[in-house]
């Protein structure tokens, strides 16, 4: 990794943190210049336009989510233990307001009906995530942790909904029981999948 790439990553770290605060739509080359202390022309050397900056921010946020949540889960045993590891790492990152995790969830809602490259990369990343969850559920069935007949795509939908719920409860409602609510919901999904 060269110096240019290290600089680019350092800028993107700050851009993801900024987007977590003001939204991806509120992220501008000018605002990023103020925060990083770089000139706008220096930033344009790394990002062609506001849209390409936003796309790079989504991809950087996705990389952080993979490093913190998906990667550690994939290093645990297949099946239910892996699903639990995914859930626990995701819950911890969400409750800690990890910027990459925040940006992925917030931007998905912010750009859900917009047209363009940012929307498209968000759709691709979320489809990837759903497919990753469904695949772990399939291994839980083949390992006989879950019964045959569990629908992996439905489970992925249900788990993502639980994570949106904890995001809502912890942030808007500042609910001190958000963590236990999410755990209860997750355990109920496991119980239904086992029986």
Do residues 85 and 140 make contact, with C-beta atoms less than 8 angstroms apart? Answer: no
At closest approach, how far in Å is the CB of 161 from its own copies?
A: 3
| Given 77, 117, 151, 194, the residue binding its own copies (CB under 8 A) | 151
At closest approach, how far in Å is the CB of 53 from its own copies?
A: 20
Provide the b/e sequence for 52-75 (b: ≥16 CB within 10 Å).
ebbbbbbebbbebbbebbbeebee
**By CB under 8 A, how many residues form the interface with its own copies?**
41
CA gap 73, 86 in Å, rounded? 5
| Binding range to its own copies, per CB under 8 A, among 31-39, 41-49, 71-79, 124-132 | 124-132
At closest approach, how far in Å is the CB of 18 from its own copies?
A: 14
- Tokens 């808007």 label which residue? 172
At closest approach, how far in Å is the CB of 131 from its own copies?
A: 12
Q: From 8, 77, 67, select the one nearest 36 (Cα to Cα).
A: 8
At closest approach, how far in Å is the CB of 121 from its own copies?
A: 12
47 or 54: CB nearest its own copies: 54
Cα-based angle 60, 86, 8 (whole degrees, multiple of 5): 10
- Tokens 């390409």 label which residue? 52
At closest approach, how far in Å is the CB of 108 from its own copies?
A: 5
Residues 25-64 within binding reach of its own copies (CB under 8 A): 25
CA gap 76, 85 in Å, rounded? 7
Q: Does 181 bind its own copies (CB under 8 A)?
A: yes
Do residues 62 and 125 make contact, with C-beta atoms less than 8 angstroms apart? Answer: yes
Q: Does 137 bind its own copies (CB under 8 A)?
A: no
The contact set with its own copies (CB under 8 A) reads 23, 25, 105-106, 108-113, 119, 122-123, 126-127, 130, 151, 153-154, 157-158, 160-162, 164-169, 171-174, 177, 181, 184-185, 188, 191-192
């Amino acid at each position: 990794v060269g110096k240019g790439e290290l600089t680019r990553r350092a800028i993107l770290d700050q851009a993801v943190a900024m987007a977590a605060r003001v939204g991806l739509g509120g992220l501008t080359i000018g605002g990023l210049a103020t925060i990083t202390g770089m000139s706008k022309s220096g930033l344009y050397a790394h990002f062609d336009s506001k849209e390409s900056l936003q796309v790079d921010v989504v991809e950087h946020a996705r990389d952080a989510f993979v490093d913190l949540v998906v990667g550690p889960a994939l290093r645990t045993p297949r099946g239910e233990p892996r699903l639990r590891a995914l859930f626990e790492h995701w819950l911890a990152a969400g409750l800690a307001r990890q910027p990459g995790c925040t940006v992925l969830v917030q931007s998905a809602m912010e750009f859900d009906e917009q047209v363009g490259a940012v929307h498209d990369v968000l759709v691709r990343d979320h489809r990837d995530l759903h497919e990753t969850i469904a695949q772990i559920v399939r291994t839980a069935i083949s390992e006989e942790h879950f019964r045959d007949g569990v629908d992996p795509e439905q489970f992925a939908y249900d788990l993502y909904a639980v994570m949106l719920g904890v995001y809502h409860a912890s942030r808007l409602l500042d609910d001190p029981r958000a963590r236990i609510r999410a755990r209860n919901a997750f355990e109920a999904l496991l119980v239904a999948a086992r029986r």
